[in-house]
Chains A and B, each alone.
Chain A
Amino acid sequence: MTALNNDFNLSAASHLRRSVVEVEQQVSPNAGVTISNHTVKARIGFRGKGAIAFLREQGVTIPEKPNQATFSGGFAVLRLSFTEIWLLDIESDSNETFEPKQKSKSEYIAALESAAKNSPDVYRLFCQHSHALFSFNERDKGTLANLFAKICGVDLRESVFPSGSIAQTSVARVNAVVFKQVISEKTERYYLLSDISSSEYLWDALVDAAGEF
């Protein structure tokens, strides 16, 4: 068995990222829902008693409570428990530089991974290669809530699940993390993280569920 090379930075190896689902985007038959595949975009997770303090030192804004998300600079910051944070590149081109760091998002996340290595009580989570990330856009408000009502037991309607909420639950019988971003008064966007090994099944199940919209 070879020893783990501590200098190796997984986040810097963007060429190793793979998506099991080969489709990048799928529009439902009546154009009510668009599902996009963001699996190969950069993401990173940290856990441990020192994780929140470490990320605040790095200038990351952390949601106040577990199961809340914030969005800034093309990133989503998910607080998945009291001491677990994930940063996801969710929107624009991963090679685009962003202020004020003057780095691409992949470089920024790779730098975070390096900085975490010597921080006490901060444990790196290998969510880059373990999870698939899909997004859902709707043409008319309420469509996605109806879509998810078919496949998820948690009520995701606006009244009880506002923008920035996270639900860690089962979607189409597969474990998933669902979070919501309100884009405008008229539309919402949902994101779904799920284990990559079952992502091909889940993609087909989601496309099937969207078939009526």
Chain B
Amino acid sequence: MKLMNCPLNGPRNISEFVYGGEVRPMPNQATCSDKEWADYVFYSDNNIRIVKEWWFHSPSGYWFIAERHTASDEIVKTYDSSELFSERVEFNAPDDQPAPVLQTEGLK
């Protein structure tokens, strides 16, 4: 059985965890270009190195951060997201900017 050390619950079967993508700074969706946003949402570097990733412990509904080596798959360490994020990340556009409009041209 493969184990992962959850910062909240301790060692648990890897089947209790869900991968949540790499930890990367989110561009401001109200001001960034489509290319920047697509790069953030869809692409990853896929290099051999130690990456920071979001992981989710499903039974406790708990998101945390794990550092994992992409070649050996070794989980180097896991920790609470408060070590990297001190406040809530807001997704709302600022009040002085118009709400984003869905671009339908060129999608056919």
Contacts and interface: CB of A to CB of B under 8 A. Distances in A.
Nearest to B13: A153
B15 A167 contact: no
Contacts of A176: 59
B83 to A, nearest CB: 12
A175 B16 CA distance: 8
Chain B: number of interface residues, binned into ranges: 10 to 19
A19 B8 CA distance: 30
A168 B57 contact: yes
Instruction: Give chain A's interface secondary structure class.
Output: strand
Interface of B: 1, 8-9, 12-13, 15-16, 57-60, 62, 80, 82
A: contact size bracket: 10 to 19
A14 interface: no
A52 interface: no
Contacts of B62: 81, 168
Interface string A137-160: 000000000000000011000000
Contacts of B16: 169-170, 175
B9 A170 contact: no
B9 A67 contact: yes
A202 interface: no
